[in-house]
Amino acid sequence: NALWVDSLVSSNKVRHRVRFDSLKKTYRFSEFGKNIKRNIITREVSRYQKLMLTLEDIPIAPIYKLDPNEKYYVRVKADLETDRFWFPFNYIFFFVPFSEFETSWVQTSPLSIDPDLELSKQASSPHKNEGTLSTDVIRSFNK
């Protein structure tokens, strides 16, 4: 029975923000984090809600840090913060409930990189040029 210690390969804090423009009747969705910047404007409530719930095309880890013979997992946590009223409205509307919550950490089942994947071959290649690192990354996706 082997014991092993998990080590952090990569981390990224991704923030989603949605703002409603009452004059234009549009929702402005923003997503930002390390190597992430996306802005989308929509009038559809269902579209901005879907965007808020997904983590699509998020860089997870540089390929050079991953070993195709190892198992990995991704951990995710969500925090919801709502804007507060400015003074003096924060005192006038003290009774208005704000929906704020925080989830606990959840993690995927163990993941491995397909050894036949071209990126895996690059990562495990013993003939890598030691002076340069690959800029390829593994990205998240939603199905």
Range of 43's domain?
Answer: 12-54
Distance of CA 20 to the CA centre of its chain: 22
Q: 66, exposed or middle or buried, with CB in 10 Å at 0-12, 13-18, 19+?
A: buried
Q: How many domains does the chain have?
A: 2
Q: What is the model's pLDDT at position 31?
A: 93
pLDDT mean by block of 10 residues, the chain; 143 residues: 72 90 93 92 93 86 84 85 66 63 83 68 53 64 50
According to DSSP, residue 137 is labeled: E
Residue 2 resides in a domain? no
Contact 113, 138 (CB under 8 A): yes
Residues 41 and 84 in one domain: no
Residues 78 and 141 in one domain: yes
Residues 87 and 133 in one domain: yes
Q: What is the model's pLDDT at position 43?
A: 96
Residues 47 and 102 in one domain: no
Residues 25 and 68 in one domain: no
Q: What is the model's pLDDT at position 132?
A: 55
Residue 3 resides in a domain? no
- Integer-rounded Cα Rg, in Å, for the chain is 21
In whole angstroms, give the CA distance from residue 52 to residue 135: 28
Residues 117 and 79 in one domain: yes
Residue 6 resides in a domain? no
Q: What is the model's pLDDT at position 65?
A: 85
Q: What is the model's pLDDT at position 143?
A: 46
Residues 108 and 136 in one domain: yes
